[in-house]
Amino acid sequence: MGLLCVSCAGRQAVKPPDAQAAYRIDSSRRASGADERVQFLVIHYTAEDFASSLTTLTAEQVSAHYLIPAQSADGREMPTALQLVDESRRAWHAGESFWRGRTHLNDTSVGIEIENQGYYRTLTGYRATPYPSGQIALVIALSRDIIRRYHLQPGNVVGHSDIAWRRKQDPGPLFPWQQLAAAGVGVWPDKQRVGYYLGGRDPCSPVAMAGIMTRMADYGYDVSPQMPAALQQKALAAFQMHFRPHDFRGLADAETEAILDALLEIHAGERGAG
């Protein structure tokens, strides 16, 4: 008796659906086609002091799963991480973003905000704020735990400037990506492999920007050789800020190309393993 004539419905004694109805689940058979909802770890700096950062991240329409203070409140070497959003929920940290074919990374990432003032003005220009060692030790320990729990690919540990390079510069050129990679967090190109791909060229010698853009797109960035030149330079600067921070003017040179080739070699290995 599943069907009920609409015209008769009013005359029937309609029994309300029972919200407490018991049902049973059998989970003894499991599918192999499944993966983690969290695929990415996104690193940010707050560009504010701790009090302002906490206010912004708790009271406004932006948030992150974790906030990492610059200093510990009780004199210890390592500060205490603040968890502002459960990892099972979406935090609003990435905004419009792209990495390796995925958009809107809030849906699929854990976000870590690091207290850091970002750029500040000096007499000789803008300077980036260094990260204290205790703060980085905490970022590494927390990130390793997140990577282990969700089986994240090394190349899916990214900066906000990697996934939203049009509008974001964090975590900036002083974020120690190389140190993190050595500790098992993210990717850093192997020096020998970079030397191999450089093939004796002067590291500063110019190369074709189109080739750089193609390689960046292959690695995961939202770029193409068809973009306007100014955007290509901006995207390249974001890449260099992460992987070649001593010069991130966005100029296409042989060293950058060799770094990209070394990274693509690692990425090919990730894909093979994934």
Select the residue interacting with Zn ion from 65, 90, 100, 160 (CB under 5 A). Answer: 160
Q: Which is nearer to Zn ion, 60 or 74 (CB)?
A: 60
First to last CA, the chain: 50
Select the residue interacting with Zn ion from 39, 40, 44, 155 (CB under 5 A). Answer: 44
Pairing of strands 109-114, 125-128: unpaired
Whether residue 60 lies in the annotated active site: no
Which segment (38-46, 54-62, 131-139, 259-267) binds Zn ion by CB under 5 A? Answer: 38-46
Residue with tokens 């990130």: 143
From the list 36, 96, 113, 270, the catalytic residue is 113
Q: Which is nearer to Zn ion, 160 or 244 (CB)?
A: 160
Residues binding Zn ion: number (CB under 5 A): 3
Instruction: Name the minimum Å distance from CB 63 to Zn ion.
Output: 11
- Binding to Zn ion (CB under 5 A): which residues in 46-85? none
Which segment (24-32, 168-176, 188-196, 217-225) binds Zn ion by CB under 5 A? Answer: 168-176
Residue with tokens 């993966």: 35
Instruction: Name the minimum Å distance from CB 169 to Zn ion.
Output: 9
Q: Any contact of residue 170 with Zn ion (CB under 5 A)?
A: yes
Instruction: Name the minimum Å distance from CB 105 to Zn ion.
Output: 11
String of contacts with Zn ion for each residue 115-154, x by CB under 5 A: ----------------------------------------
Q: Any contact of residue 255 with Zn ion (CB under 5 A)?
A: no
Q: Which is nearer to Zn ion, 39 or 63 (CB)?
A: 63
Which segment (23-31, 37-45, 64-72, 126-134) binds Zn ion by CB under 5 A? Answer: 37-45
Side-chain-side CA neighbours of 16 within 13 Å: the count stands at 3
Q: Which is nearer to Zn ion, 111 or 176 (CB)?
A: 111
Q: Which is nearer to Zn ion, 108 or 256 (CB)?
A: 108
The tokens describing 204, both together, are 């500063």
Q: Which is nearer to Zn ion, 153 or 169 (CB)?
A: 169
Choose among 221, 224, 219: nearest CA to 266. Answer: 219
The residues carrying an active-site annotation are 113
Q: Which residues bind Zn ion (CB under 5 A)?
A: 44, 160, 170
